[in-house]
């Protein structure tokens, strides 16, 4: 038998083996696929049900009266803006920087090093520009060198 016919026989044997195994593997995976589809359907239905059960009631639903005055849209926006402005550089530094890593002392770096670090971390931590300026001012004023 020549080497060409031996390699052809090996290829034919491999192809027929693959065809046989593909047919049996598809049959054995059918129940698993059905179970997987059922699990996904139950999970989606459960998530939807919990969302509907725990969702806030629509604003058209009447609520019981309280002793407090209902805030208006403009006063709420003003309060939020005032709260953002009231935070100091030190407070913003603690809030943003402790999210991902331990807070460093401002004295550990020079003012120039803090500037470089803040440029990088403002982008990486998605810190608003006004807050980043306050944080940088705090760090530079309290830097060690």
The per-residue pLDDT for range 63-121, each reduced to its tens digit, is 555 565 555 555 666 666 666 568 999 999 988 888 898 888 999 999 999 999 999 99
Q: Could you give the CA distance from residue 136 to residue 10 in angstroms, rounded to a whole number? A: 71
Instruction: Tell me 67's DSSP state.
Output: S
Specify whether the CB–CB gap between 95 and 137 falls below 8 A: no
In terms of Cα–Cα distance, which of 100, 99, 112, 102 is closest to 139?
112
- Answer yes or no: is 11 within a domain: yes
Q: How many domains does the chain have?
A: 2
In terms of Cα–Cα distance, which of 140, 126, 119 is closest to 95?
126
For 14-41, what is each residue's pLDDT tens digit? 666 666 655 554 556 667 777 777 776 6
Q: What is the pTM of this model?
A: 0.43
- Answer yes or no: is 38 within a domain: yes
- Answer yes or no: is 46 within a domain: yes
In terms of Cα–Cα distance, which of 145, 123, 122 is closest to 135?
122
Please state at what angle helix 129-141 crosses helix 111-124, rounded to 10 degrees. 160
Q: Are residues 2 and 46 in the same domain?
A: yes
Residue-level pLDDT at 145 = 72
Domain that holds residue 125: 87-141
- Answer yes or no: is 63 within a domain: no
Q: Are residues 1 and 48 in the same domain?
A: yes
């Amino acid at each position: 038998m020549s080497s060409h016919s031996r390699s052809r026989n090996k290829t034919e044997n491999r192809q027929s083996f693959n065809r046989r195994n593909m047919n049996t593997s598809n049959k054995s995976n059918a129940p698993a696929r059905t179970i997987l589809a059922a699990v996904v359907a139950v999970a989606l239905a459960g998530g939807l049900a919990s969302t509907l059960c725990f969702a806030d009631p629509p604003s058209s639903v009447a609520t019981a009266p309280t002793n407090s005055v209902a805030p208006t849209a403009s006063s709420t926006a003003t309060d939020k803006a005032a709260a953002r402005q009231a935070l100091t550089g030190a407070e913003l530094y603690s809030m943003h920087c402790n999210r991902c890593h331990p807070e460093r002392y401002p004295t550990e770096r020079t003012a120039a090093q803090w500037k470089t670090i803040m440029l990088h971390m403002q982008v990486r931590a998605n810190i608003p520009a006004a807050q980043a300026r306050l944080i940088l001012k705090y760090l530079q004023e309290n830097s060690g060198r």
